[in-house]
Amino acid sequence: MPINPHDEIVLTLLQVLGPLNGEIRLLGRVSDPVIGNPSEREVFFLIPDLHLLSPQRRQRFKYGFNHSGSRLLAGLLERIATLRDSWEASRNTKLVTIQLGDFFDLWREFPRSAKPAEIPDDACGDLRDILYRGIDRGGPCLKATMLLGNHDTKRSDPLQEIPFRYKFFNRPQDEKPFLFGTHGDAFDILETTLPDAIEEFAVYFIGTFVEPNKYPVMEWSKKTAGINKSIGNLEEAVTDPEHALEPPGGAIQVSPETPLPSFVCQEIHSPDNTANPYFQKLYRSIDIAREKDLPGQHVRVVTMGHTHKASLILCRPSGGRPMLLMDVGAWIENCTYSLAENGTAVTEPSAQLGVIHGNDARIYQIRLLQRG
């Protein structure tokens, strides 16, 4: 069987994961013409929220970017950059990398003034290099499209070194993009109604009690009301939350030879038929693009981050427009899901990646197994 770009990505990731006793699990997949991608040339490699912090701030807030000690993500991306170069040389396949926002967590990094430029050069330097900075330093670089997340600014000032976009479409031949990406905060009612300063105040001064994707005091208090725990335990509960992910049939281990089911997703037949609070708003936004005759009207796949909860939701209304929502998750907090082989539920650090090639969209969970 000829190896396809998905297999090459998996092989490349496993070259790094193998020596670390790691593996890849499939959290979601839709392999179907419903995706509407006419091109086989591009491979879209999607990296979700990272919320990078300097070590001092990480200690203060007791949460942070998963697997930072082993440099796991940087190692994976460095190997992917090598694959990108070989594809560039062959001119047949092009790797397009997108980081979906909330790369740095400037809200937590800076208590008061907006001084993003004070981040030390070597703070998370390996990830900055491999995603966007390496091109200026002569090193390997993915030249990623970096989306602007709500945590990427301090009082609305971004880190100047990062080439931010508000959103992206794939570059089609015919001005009909199938793929749209946004961080997701523009569809979050809290984000769009509360001033940044209030949200940042809540995050910073109640920092250790506030999970990274919940900001205002009122929201925090609602959360605490639902958790019957002492204040001491509560801190752990909200800074180390678990996102229950439920891939149908359990998460299959992925290797290049493994046949995978074509649909590992939540399938709905109406945009209001899901508990996901973003789906309906995003679906409606594509409708508005259609009403305005804009390129967004052609979009079949919407990819986002922001929620930290990986999910794949396919809506196929009878006679209506299909849409796939691909929330790629995060590399902070924890996720819980069951393994396909024995149904055992596991809880482990979130470490998710998304890949789209042709009409095949996937979300992977990167696992590091305990040694011995």
Partner 1 sequence: MLNRIGGMRTSFFAAVSIVLFLVVGCCTTVVVHMGSPYDRYDHNRTRAIITSITTGSTEAVTRVLGDEVYRPSGSEYFLRAQYAENDSSTDILPAANVVPLFTGVSLPLSAVPVKGGRSDRDDLIDFLAEGPYAQVGIQPGETMGDTKSTRIAYAPVLDFLGAREHLSGGRDQVVRRLSSLNVVFADDVMDSRYRLRAFAGVLAFRFEKFWFILYQLPRNDHYSRLVVVPERGKAQDFPAKKPY
Residues found near partner 1 in the complex (CB under 8 A):
94, 96-98, 135-138, 143, 145, 148, 150, 152-153, 155-158, 162-171, 175, 177, 180-183, 185-187, 191-192, 196, 285-286, 288-289, 292-296, 299, 302
For residues 157 and 240, which CB has a smaller minimum distance to partner 1 in the complex? Answer: 157
For residues 116 and 241, which CB has a smaller minimum distance to partner 1 in the complex? Answer: 116
For residues 60 and 165, which CB has a smaller minimum distance to partner 1 in the complex? Answer: 165
Least spacing, CB of residue 65 vs partner 1, in Å: 22
Helix orientation angle between 5-17 and 72-90, rounded to the nearest 10 degrees? 140
**CA 33, 9, 91, 301 torsion-angle sign:** positive
Q: Closest Cα partner for 249 from 34, 98, 27, 30? A: 27
Least spacing, CB of residue 211 vs partner 1, in Å: 21
Q: How many residues does the chain have?
A: 372
Q: Are 278 and 325 in contact (CB under 8 A)?
A: yes
For residues 1 and 117, which CB has a smaller minimum distance to partner 1 in the complex? Answer: 117
Least spacing, CB of residue 361 vs partner 1, in Å: 16
For residues 137 and 229, which CB has a smaller minimum distance to partner 1 in the complex? Answer: 137
Least spacing, CB of residue 9 vs partner 1, in Å: 17
Least spacing, CB of residue 33 vs partner 1, in Å: 22
Least spacing, CB of residue 357 vs partner 1, in Å: 15
Looking at the chain, the number of H-run helices and the number of E-run strands are 11, 20
Helix H or strand E encompassing 186: none
Give DSSP secondary structure letters for 116-148.
Answer: GGGS-TTTTHHHHIIIIIHHHHTS-----EEE-
For residues 42 and 348, which CB has a smaller minimum distance to partner 1 in the complex? Answer: 42
Token pair belonging to 30: 């839709």
